Structure 1
């Protein structure tokens, strides 16, 4: 009888501990957007199961290990928020599978991604003809992000402008992230000098910018750390 009561109490306490933690980091863990979140969710499940049902293990050391894991996750999250190289090492990065309608076999081999996998993910998005695809990117989560060729995209208001019919499609080019230049993305069309001039006309400095990129239509998008919003939305 004591074993049953002990198991019930351990389960109840473990459940409330898990719910408390999930209120704190649940959105990140449940998204499974990267390897680290996936590994953490599996490990948390194992911890809670042992804490609740394995009466051969002492509860207090298990709880201490569980809390240590959460603190480690929080510490890594703080570093990731400030360091893009660390974030990419910890979380992985996306892989371009199709570039301007061409399948990149070398990239597919790197991630052990087959043509059958590609066709299946395309069909799941309602694309049965690979000729319709301009860009395809395999995300860290395993999902395939698709940009269709212009003639196969859904019609929007801007499509009623004849000047847009022959507009070239390109992937967005990141130039600034977290106040630092993304050096590898600069080219002869979008050089550092060009960027400095654009920022000068806007009276901005690189350190003020959280994110800047060239959009798929060739426009420069800039998001500042200080958005100057007097009443920003705060929706959980």
Structure 2
């Protein structure tokens, strides 16, 4: 058998085996990228790639690798369905990033999230004002689930056939204990105004993890010490 014909056969075989692998494990393999499924996807793809082009290794060895890896993942999936404790150990569990309107900095550090990444994820949920968020959880598949505060869950002006009032662009003033002077100078807010607001709240810049003037002109401040504990 020529090398070209062998590569063609190996390519079709790799595709069929991957198709069977995904079909047996179900849509969960595509939708829910948990730790073990993410590793399985990478590993199976690597095996398939080697099966296609690395014709120096025996065909049977790759088939055996597919069977072993597929069996391991299939077993883990079955066990995770039957046992919640086992499921949390192999797939992880949701992590609370915002609790009762407070950003949990310890949870951000634990998950490798920065405030910028959190804001980006919230914008993906059409939330540009962080003050609207009551709870935010990072799910095991990497998506962000958000619960808005009660006052932002009511009927919108669009539902009432009214023209929406104009919104201002949020202005970030403090991030990670540092004053954002460029944002202040390019906005209608002054450093004196900010200092006065902080004095009212009996706090200072170094105590603040994040501060922003929201779309409605309200000042949102998140302290490093929120007196809120991450949900365990």
**TMscore range, shorter length:** 0.5 to 0.7
Deviations 1:58-99 (A, max 9, x none): 110111011111011111122212211111010011100111
Q: Residue in 2 aligned with 1:123?
A: 123
What SS class does the counterpart of residue 142 from structure 2 fall into? coil
What SS class does the counterpart of residue 57 from structure 1 fall into? coil
Q: Does 1:29 align with 2:26?
A: no
Q: Distance in 2 between matches of 1:63 and 1:122?
A: 44
Q: Residue in 2 aligned with 1:53?
A: 53
What SS class does the counterpart of residue 135 from structure 2 fall into? strand
- Post-superposition shift, 1:33? 3.3
Q: Residue in 2 aligned with 1:147?
A: 147
Instruction: Output aligned runs, 1:77-156, within 5 Å.
Output: 77-153=77-153, 155=155
Q: Which ranges in structure 2 are unaligned for 5 or more consecutive residues?
A: 157-232
Deviations 1:131-160 (A, max 9, x none): 00000001122211100011212539xxxx
Q: Distance in 2 between matches of 1:39 and 1:71?
A: 14
Q: Distance in 1 between matches of 2:3 and 2:26?
A: 31
Q: Residue in 1 aligned with 2:10?
A: 10
Q: Distance in 2 between matches of 1:61 and 1:70?
A: 14
Q: Distance in 1 between matches of 2:4 and 2:17?
A: 20
Flag the structure with more relative contact order, 1 or 2, with Cα contacts below 8 A and sequence separation at least 6: 2
Q: Give the TM-score, by structure 1 length.
A: 0.63
Q: Distance in 2 between matches of 1:24 and 1:108?
A: 36
- Post-superposition shift, 1:32? 3.5
Deviations 1:84-143 (A, max 9, x none): 111101001110011111111111121121111111111121111100000000112221
Which one has a bigger Cα radius of gyration?
2
Q: Residue in 1 aligned with 2:73?
A: 73
Q: Distance in 1 between matches of 2:23 and 2:89?
A: 26
What SS class does the counterpart of residue 93 from structure 1 fall into? coil
- Post-superposition shift, 1:55? 0.8
Q: Distance in 2 between matches of 1:133 and 1:57?
A: 55
Q: Which runs of 4+ in 1 moved over 6 A?
A: none
Q: Distance in 2 between matches of 1:33 and 1:46?
A: 17
Q: Give the TM-score, by structure 2 length.
A: 0.64
Q: Distance in 1 between matches of 2:154 and 2:33?
A: 27
What SS class does the counterpart of residue 89 from structure 2 fall into? helix
Q: Distance in 1 between matches of 2:80 and 2:141?
A: 17
Q: Distance in 2 between matches of 1:100 and 1:7?
A: 58
Q: Which ranges in structure 1 are unaligned for 5 or more consecutive residues?
A: 157-236
Contact 2:37 2:73 in 1 (8 A): no
Q: Distance in 2 between matches of 1:101 and 1:92?
A: 24
| RMSD of aligned residue pairs (Cα, Å) | 1.6
